[in-house]
Amino acid sequence: MVFIKTIFFLLLQHFVVTSCNAVIGHHHNPHHSLLRDKAALLQFKKAITYDPNSTLANWNEATDVCNYTGVGCNKKHHRVTILLLHNRKLVGQLSPIISNLTRLRYLELVGNHFYGTIPPELSLLRHLHHLRIEGNNFRGSIPDSLVLPSQLTVVTLLQNNFSGAVPPALFSNCSLLRVFDLSNNFLSGKIPREIGNCPNLWTLNLYNNQFTGEIPLSLTNTSLVNLDVEFNHLSGELPVKLVENLPDILYLHLSNNNMVSHDGNTNLDPFFTALANCISLEELELASMGLGGILPSSIGGLGVNFTYLLLQENKIIGSVPSNIGNLSKLVVLNLTSNLMNGTISANISQLSHLEQLFLSHNFFTSTIPEALGHLPHLGLLDLSHNSFFGDIPSGLGNLAMLNYLFLNNNLLSGTIPPSLGRCTELYKLDLSFNRLAGAIPPELSGLNEIRIFINLSHNHLEGSIPIELSKLEDVQEMDLSSNNLSGSIFPQISSCIALTLINFSHNALEGSLPDFIGELKNLVSLDVSDNHLSGRIPLSLNKSLTLTYLNLSFNDFKGMVPSGGIFESVSYTSFLGNKHLCGKVAAKHVCPRTKHLFRSRIFIIMFVIVIFISTSLSIICCVIAFRRIKVLISSQRAATVKKPTQPEVIQNFPRVTYRDLSEATGGFDDQRLIGTGSYGRVYRGVLPDGTTIAVKVLHLQSGNSTKSFNRECQVLRRIRHRNLIRIITACSLPDFKAIVLPYMANGSLDSRLYPHSQAGLGSGSSDLSLIQRVNICSDIAEGMAYLHHYSPVRVIHCDLKPSNVLLNDGMTALVSDFGIARLVIAGGGVGNAGLENMGNSTASLLCGSIGYIAPEYGFGSNTSTKGDVYSFGVLVLEMVTRKRPTDDMFVGGLSLHSWVKNHYHGRVDKVLDSSLVRASRDQPPEMKKMWDVAIGEMIELGILCTQESPSTRPTMLDAADDLDRLKRYLGGDTTATFASSLGISSSTLDDD
């Protein structure tokens, strides 16, 4: 028995030793460990799609796993420890097989298109330090299992579609957690107070979610340096106790929440007093919160490193306190759009590092302090739209770094200080709508770096225009209108080669226009009306290829109006009040000749008249005889001639007179004005039968109005589609041309996208829902597809933009304004077809409006339907972003297309219309997904339509089909699927 037990023990010992050796061999055999990791990565690869020519191209059996793209190994443990796949355009679900990489320390899948939920198996990665999956399409709730990898130090889940509440259990094992970022999701509920269990947490980003309640006080148990909770629904008073106990915080961003100041939103002092304990604070953002109270003196107690203070769009009252000067390192101070009045303390001069000062749209009623001239680094000063009075401080000329100076719309008086000429870095100078007097100082020639505009209009300036302004070679717009300027226009103005706009109207200028003014190669608009100019109109103006607006009215020009160029398109209204002008567009159609010349030829003229009358009588007799013979022949053949199988189609528009339209619009009363444009004005009218109409009256002094009128009539009488405006009738007189159209109760798309404040919506938002925007884009696409592919005469619109899209009672979109449309000749194709010659060519007109013109037109390419597609793409991006393509932000090569494309795979919320973001937050999870798909599809379509190369753009049929499917999808059609709903992007073309 003992022998048997001994044998059994020896066998058991051998089995245990063998098993242990096998296990040890398994864990320390580098070949076996890496083989298992390679198998996991190859399985992970099978679950996703990718670009086979670049990403993961070397992930195969033949390649060492440690040489895989984005993979790093630890040589000591012979395991994969790093998986970094940033912006690799990977699409698919995150496979649970990733949990087999048990030594993984860094898992970063940033900026891809992963979708679905986070697999719970990630909890098996016990050595994981960094989990970064931002910029994907993950959805669902955040799993509690993320608490298990206790060594996590960085968790960034931002820019996904996570929803629901943040589980409190997530913070039960977070002693090492330092960075936690859930921004740009759809998370709701309260911020868990358990987050205070993370003692080493120093960055907490929760912005752009739907969190409610108050910021938890438990955050005082952390080591916070950065707290960003902007764009949520957080409430309560500003968190005094929180900031008192966060002495190391650097960045505190609370903007766009529902918090209030103390004492019923009237007292900011407790909060700023508490901030004095935050000795390291650098940035404080409290914008767009409606905070009330005065700016307290305790603001001077902020830390010595404080640099950014954003308080715009609140209800702050009072003056700028004197101890603001204590913030010696302040870089940006924004108090725009508050209720501030009183004065600006002279101590502001102590802000020696200040670069941007925004005080516009307030109620300041003081003088501008000289102290502002002691800010050596100031680059932007905006004091516009206040009631500042008195002189412009001469000390502003000391601001050597100043780029933007806006003092417009105030009550400033005195003279323009010559010292401003020392601001040699200025790009924009606006002193308009004040009470400035005296002469324009020649010293302003020192602003030779001014590149955008100089606006001194609507003041009381006098004297001559200084010749020194000719040194402003890079300025694009020069507006000196509505002053008392005298003297002549200096010939050297042709040196300002970048000028696009010159407005010297409503002054007392004398002399002649410079002969070479037409040689300004970029000049678009020239207005010198209401002056005392004389002499002949410069012939050089007819050589300008860019000039589209010309107003020389109410002067004393003499002689013949030149022909060619701009003079072939302007009307006589551009020359009103010039009694000594003659020519076909002037008041006198025939120029007078000398008496000597008349008398010397009177006999010849009389002889020619006699001969002409005799010849005419002979011809008349012959014609009468010929017609009688022709009638006899025709009557004999009439019985044998067959009638046409189809009658000729003739549009029988109702007749309307000028008087009818005048009565219908109350004498074209400004109260009936519903819109203005480059070619005319639109009035609301009512016909005697009660029909409400829109009367588009052409502005005849505009360069191409007559051509525009003829072309629009030609197009409208040939087309008919539910998404295209129809013409009721037209009225054409030598000095009056109008088109009568159906009245659209909902106005233009532009007016709905950018409503005025009196509409009850405020200038910062639009009431158009996402579904309405999709429907409107679909309507426009259908109408444009008809023009390009199905119309009896194919039409290239050439000026598609929101102001040319009208909305009827049912919010159906109708494309309008065909004033510069091109008609495609039969057989000419659609893409680059020739144009039909219809007697009134619009070939000289611009191919659209700035911001919507296809880039190829700038290189001389012919108009094509792909140009319309580009304009449509800009319109679609504008519908999603509510940002005009001509916005001031789009400078230095940045465009609406590139701006959206750069953010689309990152922080897309940064380019979305804020009203869409807010509306999306209020949707249930299922609807949010549909909204995300719709927004993604709209952005994709807009980017694709605005590709630089015309050949890469779709047709309008393609766009119409895509939008029709999108409409059906939003309507509940489950068969309508989209790439973006699976995280697939169609905008994978290379950057333009």
Name the residues annotated as catalytic: 799
Q: Is the dihedral of CA 932, 937, 940, 941 positive or negative?
A: negative
- Return the number of other C-beta atoms located less than 10 Å from residue 545's C-beta: 11
883 is in an annotated binding site: no
For 21, the 3-state DSSP assignment is helix
Residue 747 tokens read as: 């106005």
Indicate the residue type of 308.
Answer: Y
CA–CA distance, 681 with 687 (Å, rounded to integer): 18
CA–CA distance, 197 with 218 (Å, rounded to integer): 8
Residue 962 tokens read as: 């895509």
Q: In 3-state terms, the chain is what percent helix, strand and coil (to 5)?
A: 35, 20, 50
CA–CA distance, 487 with 481 (Å, rounded to integer): 14
Residue 187 tokens read as: 């998370």
- Angle, helix 30-46 to helix 2-28, in steps of 10 degrees: 60
Q: Exposure string (b/e) for 528-544, b if CB count within 10 Å is 16 or more?
A: bbbbebeeebbebbbeb
- Return the number of other C-beta atoms located less than 10 Å from residue 893's C-beta: 6
Q: Exposure string (b/e) for 239-251, b if CB count within 10 Å is 16 or more?
A: beebbebbeebbb
CA–CA distance, 347 with 354 (Å, rounded to integer): 13
CB 50 within 8 A of CB 89: yes
Q: Can you give the C-alpha Rg of the chain in angstroms?
A: 37
Label the pairing between strands 161-164 and 186-190: parallel
SS (H, E, C) 430-469: ECCCCCCEECCCHHHHHCCCCCCEEECCCCEEEEECCHHH
CA–CA distance, 295 with 308 (Å, rounded to integer): 15
Residue 40 tokens read as: 């996991």
Q: Measuring CA to CA, which residue among 557, 556, 583 is closest to residue 570?
A: 583
Task: Tell me phi and psi for residue 933, to 5 degrees.
Answer: -60, -45
- Angle, helix 865-881 to helix 896-904, in steps of 10 degrees: 60
Element holding 83 (H helix, E strand)? strand 79-84
Using alpha carbons only, give the angle 217, 218, 224 rounded to the nearest 5 degrees. 95
For 875, the 3-state DSSP assignment is helix
Residue holding tokens 């009660």?
690
For 684, the 3-state DSSP assignment is strand
CB 134 within 8 A of CB 108: no
CB 134 within 8 A of CB 157: yes
- In the sheet that holds 315-320, the strands lie side by side as 292-294, 315-320, 339-344
SS (H, E, C) 535-600: ECCCHHHHHCCCCCEEECCCCEEEEECCCCHHHHCCCHHHHCCCCEEECCCCCECCCCCCHHHHHH
Q: DSSP class of residue 788?
A: I
Q: Measuring CA to CA, which residue among 179, 187, 178 is closest to residue 159?
A: 187
- Return the number of other C-beta atoms located less than 10 Å from residue 643's C-beta: 6
CA–CA distance, 947 with 476 (Å, rounded to integer): 28
Q: Which residues pair with 357 in a beta bridge?
A: 333, 381
Residue holding tokens 């609370």?
254
Q: Measuring CA to CA, which residue among 385, 436, 438 is closest to residue 408?
A: 385
Residue 686 tokens read as: 């009512």
Binding-site positions read 696
Binding-site positions for ATP read 696
